[in-house]
Every structure is written in C-alpha cells, then in structure tokens.
Amino acid sequence: MLKAVIFDDEYIVTQGLKTMINWSQYGIEVVGTASDGISALKLFKQLKPDIIFTDIRMPGMDGLELIQEVMQEVPETICIVFSGFNEFSYVKKAIKLGVADYLEKPVTIPMIEEAIQRTLKKVNEQNEMTTLKLEREKTQQELLEKATLDLLLNRQGAYSKWCEHFGPEVNRVVAATVIAYSGDEKVSITNDLFRMVPVWNGYRDLLVVFHFSEEFGLFERELASWMKQTNGLVGAGHTYKRISNLSKSYSEALKALEYGSFIEEEGWIHVGDLPDEMVIPEYLSEQVKGILSSMRKGDEEETEHSLDQFIKWIEMEKFDRDILEREILKMIYLGIEVVKEISGGQLSNWIASYQPYIEIRNVKTKDAMVKWLRDQMKEMMDRILKHSSTKKHSAINQALEYMKEHFCEDLTLQQVAEKVDMNPTYLSYLFKEEMGESYIKYLTRLRMEQAKSLLRSGQKVSTVSEQVGYQTYRHFSEVFKKHTGMTPSHFKDFR
C-alpha cells in the first residue's frame, strides 16, 4: 500500500480530497494532511510518504520550499502540485525541482483521479524495473552492489546489509569516496589500500571507493593512470570518514560529472573545483544537450538539426498528451535559461511576459504541439543571434587579464563573470570554446606555474600555498602533486 499526504491551506481541499476519493481502490492510503508548510515538512519527515499532493502557496513555508527539502532528503518521492492560473513563475520552478505532475486550481475529483492513474503507471513501471533487477542471479557481488547503492540512497537498513555483504574487510574501512564516470570501458582497479565497488543507479556508472588507508590520493593516481587509456570523464565527490555521509559524496560526484559534461570537459573533475554559483541540471538527454550546446554557439543550423533529433525522440516514445506537454515545456525552460545567459538581462522584460505554460494549453494536437515547439525555439534562437555579444573575444581577454592579476586570491567564476559583465554559466561555456580548456583547469594551471616559480626561488611551501590562492596547505599539496606528479616539498628539493 502506497502512503500519500495532502498539503493545502484550505480545509475543504484537504478533507474533500481525503474523504471523496476511494483511495484504497488505487492501493493508496492517505496517512496525513497539513495546512501550512512547516507542519507539512514535519509530517513528511515523520511519515516518509511515497506521494505528496501539495498546494504551491501555503503559510509558513510555500510548496516550492517544501518540495526542495523533500527532494534533497528523499529524491524518489513523487510530488504533485496544485497551482493557480496566474502562478506561472511558481510552476516553472516546480518543474525544475522535478515534480511529477501539476494541476491547475480549482482542483476537481476527476483531475486528482487522473493524476493518480498517471502516478500509479509511473510507480508500476519503476517497480517492474526493480523486480527485473532483483530476478537476476543474486551473487555476492551483486548483493554488495545493491547494498552499496542503498547506502548512497540512504535507504532504511542499508548499513547493516552493506556490512554483511562487504565481508570481513568491513572493519578496515576508514573512509569512502563516490565517483561517477562516463566512457565506454568499465573501471576495474584492484589495490590493497582500497576496494572499489561498481554501482549502476539506473542511468549512470558509479564507483564507491572504500579506503583501508588514509592515503586518499592513491586511488586518484590509480584512476588517473587508467583514464590515460580512455577518453572518459570522471566526477568525484568529497571523501568522508563516516559511511553515513556517502549520500553526500554521491550527490557531489553526480554534480561534478554533469558539470564536466555540461562544459564538454574530459578528464578529472572534483566537486571542490566547481564554481560556487553554477547551476547544473541533474541530468539531460543527449538530444537536449545538443540543442543547448548549439544555441550557446549561436549555430542556427546545428540547433535545428539537434531539435529534429529531439522531436524524433519524443515521437518515438509515443507520449500521451500530459507527458508530451511536460517534456516540451522542460525543453522550452532550458532554452529560456540559455537566452538569459547570452542576453545578460537585456531580455528580462520579454522573459517575464513569456508564458509558454499557458500558451501550450491552447495547442490541441500533437502535430500542432511540435510545430509550436519549433516556433518557440526559432524565436529564442532569433533573439540569441540578435543579442549575442559582439565582444566575445574581448570579454575572454578581459577575463584572462583579471585572472592573471587576481589568481592569488580566492577567485571564483562569479567574480570573473561580474568583471566582464557576463552570465557565469555562459562565460564558463565560452571560456572552454575560446581557450580549449575549462576555467577551472586554466586557473589551476596558472596557479601551478606560479607555484613552481616561487618554489624554485626557495620560498617556503606554506608561503607559496597562500601566494597562489590556496587557503590550506593540504589542498595546495594535493593539487600540486596531481599537476606535477610530486609534492611541493619534493619539487623544491629538485629545483
């Protein structure tokens, strides 16, 4: 039996939905209701429901804040939101947060029942996939991988199962790191000082590195050696000594990998190297990435080709009306973000008045919806080409000069972007396109070259660390060793 909760500040809505729908026929039990956001969050933490029906506007904490908290804690929770006709901006944010469905007020019983049916279809599909996975031969390695994935997802009882399947070496584990990677080859590295457990979360290859020694850099060197034979990309989370923090490292690894993929990087990306102000989508299909990439390049022909591939995909999937509408709206909103990046705020009035959520409701057929999508993307592309900066090269030159003058400080991409009057995300993409390497790698290389020069002159390692922009000696030493193959002290001795 699935557990559901209903959150709305109108008593008639919560009680009406609770009592007027035969929930049991859908295999659902309504386990609680709340009329304000703070009470709703408390109830969620207490009951951990499978499905949440919530109004966007509530006192104390609005529905969007609530959904954000829920998704951070239990991302597999299915959230269905109620929204008023004029709450377009809220709906757009809700879609970005990953809500499963949205219903326009006033909410009726038939609307809720249709939403339930759509939700159950999704749950059944997820359960079928889970059942198929469980039907595979349950070898010890598979059981370990399953227990490790449960650890990453913070599932109940995961720790005891992981201890059971990890074996006698469980007492040797002093810390753990999660890395996510993309590439054709599976990573398989053995070493006495750590153990790697491969995990598949449904769409991404992961490795959980369980360390038997506090020499945490060893696995990075082993992995770097393996990566030299491939053209893959690796995103790494922080290393945590408490196994209960593995879910944090998991989220960080995915974020680092998606950032690297977003800026078309290769090699090793650590979450600690990410710009603070970057907002990276959790997961984008190759079709969508192609569209966004070509839009940023200002390539009208390539954008049209990528859009053709996206349309072929949605046509092949044979989505029903609601799902098709949602996928198209996601594409539109991502396109709007690119327009924002490139226009630098010049199109804020148009963006504020643009209401695709309302417009698409007036499109009646699938063919008309596809044509509407093409028209919207063409309009966005026209605006990008019209407002695309004519000073791209000069902006990068300004950025390079500023970085050379301030690399010894705690320099962020946000600071550099503000200096050249450009959106940080767009600057990151443009920097890679113009320089052939990412902002992070360029800044690191700049710092390391200066560090080598200072070390050769005989300065203390701790002094050099501060002079090239690193707040801690340990971080500087790790980066220096990764860049040169030796510690700063050894490099100084060989100067």
- Helix 88-97 to helix 63-73 angle (10° resolution) is 0
Identity (one letter) of the amino acid at 261? S
Number of domains in the chain: 4
Q: Is residue 341 domain-shared with residue 378, that is, in the same domain?
A: yes
Q: Is residue 153 domain-shared with residue 238, that is, in the same domain?
A: yes
pLDDT (tens digit, 9 = 90+) per residue, 53-109?
A: 998 888 888 888 899 899 888 888 889 988 875 667 777 787 888 888 888 888 888
Q: Which of 414, 436, 456, 402 is nearest to 275 (CA)?
A: 414
- Spatial distance between the Cα atoms of 331 and 151, rounded to a whole number of angstroms: 33
In a domain, 25, yes or no: yes
Quick count: other Cβ atoms within 10 Å of Cβ 431?
A: 27
Quick count: other Cβ atoms within 10 Å of Cβ 88?
A: 16
Q: Is residue 161 domain-shared with residue 203, that is, in the same domain?
A: yes
Q: Is residue 264 domain-shared with residue 148, that is, in the same domain?
A: yes
Residues of the chain with pLDDT under 70: 85-87, 129-138, 183-188, 190, 224-232, 261-267, 273-284, 343-348, 387-394, 423, 425, 494-495
pLDDT (tens digit, 9 = 90+) per residue, 204-226?
A: 888 899 999 887 777 777 776 66
The pLDDT, as a whole number, for residue 137 is: 46
DSSP-derived letter for residue 107 is P
- Spatial distance between the Cα atoms of 110 and 340, rounded to a whole number of angstroms: 38
The pLDDT, as a whole number, for residue 200 is: 86
- Indicate the residue among 217, 249, 273 that finishes a domain: 273
What order of strands is seen across the sheet that includes strand 233-236? Answer: 194-200, 205-211, 175-182, 233-236, 267-270
Helical (H) or strand (E) element with 488 = helix 488-493
- Helix 473-484 to helix 439-456 angle (10° resolution) is 100
CATH code where residue 230 lies: 3.30.70
Whether 92 contacts 357, CB under 8 Å: yes
In a domain, 264, yes or no: yes
In a domain, 279, yes or no: no
In a domain, 421, yes or no: yes
The pLDDT, as a whole number, for residue 314 is: 81
For residue 353, give every residue at least 6 positions away whose Cβ sits within 8 Å of its Cβ, in sequence order, or none: none
pLDDT (tens digit, 9 = 90+) per residue, 121-152?
A: 877 777 776 665 555 545 777 888 889 999 99
Whether 140 contacts 165, CB under 8 Å: yes
- Spatial distance between the Cα atoms of 448 and 475, rounded to a whole number of angstroms: 12
To which residue do tokens 């300004």 refer? 398
- Indicate the residue among 133, 163, 183 that finishes a domain: 133
Q: What is the extent of the structural domain holding 441? A: 392-493
Q: Is 264 left (phi over 0), alpha (psi -120 to 50) or beta?
A: left
Q: Is residue 372 domain-shared with residue 402, that is, in the same domain?
A: no
In a domain, 214, yes or no: yes
In a domain, 281, yes or no: no
- Paired with 182 in beta bridges are 233
CATH code where residue 22 lies: 3.40.50.2300
Q: Is residue 259 domain-shared with residue 169, that is, in the same domain?
A: yes
Helix, strand, coil percent content, the chain, rounded in steps of 5:
60, 10, 30
Residue 75: strand, helix, or coil: coil
- Spatial distance between the Cα atoms of 84 and 155, rounded to a whole number of angstroms: 35
Q: Is residue 425 domain-shared with residue 375, that is, in the same domain?
A: no
Whether 43 contacts 85, CB under 8 Å: no
Q: Is residue 72 domain-shared with residue 162, that is, in the same domain?
A: no
- Paired with 28 in beta bridges are 2
The pLDDT, as a whole number, for residue 4 is: 92
Q: Is 345 left (phi over 0), alpha (psi -120 to 50) or beta?
A: left
Q: Is residue 251 domain-shared with residue 154, that is, in the same domain?
A: yes
- Indicate the residue among 367, 387, 407 that finishes a domain: 387
Q: Is residue 79 domain-shared with residue 18, that is, in the same domain?
A: yes
Q: Is residue 365 domain-shared with residue 423, that is, in the same domain?
A: no
- Spatial distance between the Cα atoms of 88 and 86, rounded to a whole number of angstroms: 6
Q: Is residue 144 domain-shared with residue 269, that is, in the same domain?
A: yes
Number of H-type helices and E-type strands within the chain:
22, 10
DSSP-derived letter for residue 169 is G
Calculated CA dihedral for residues 371, 325, 316, 122, nearest 10 degrees: 180
In a domain, 280, yes or no: no
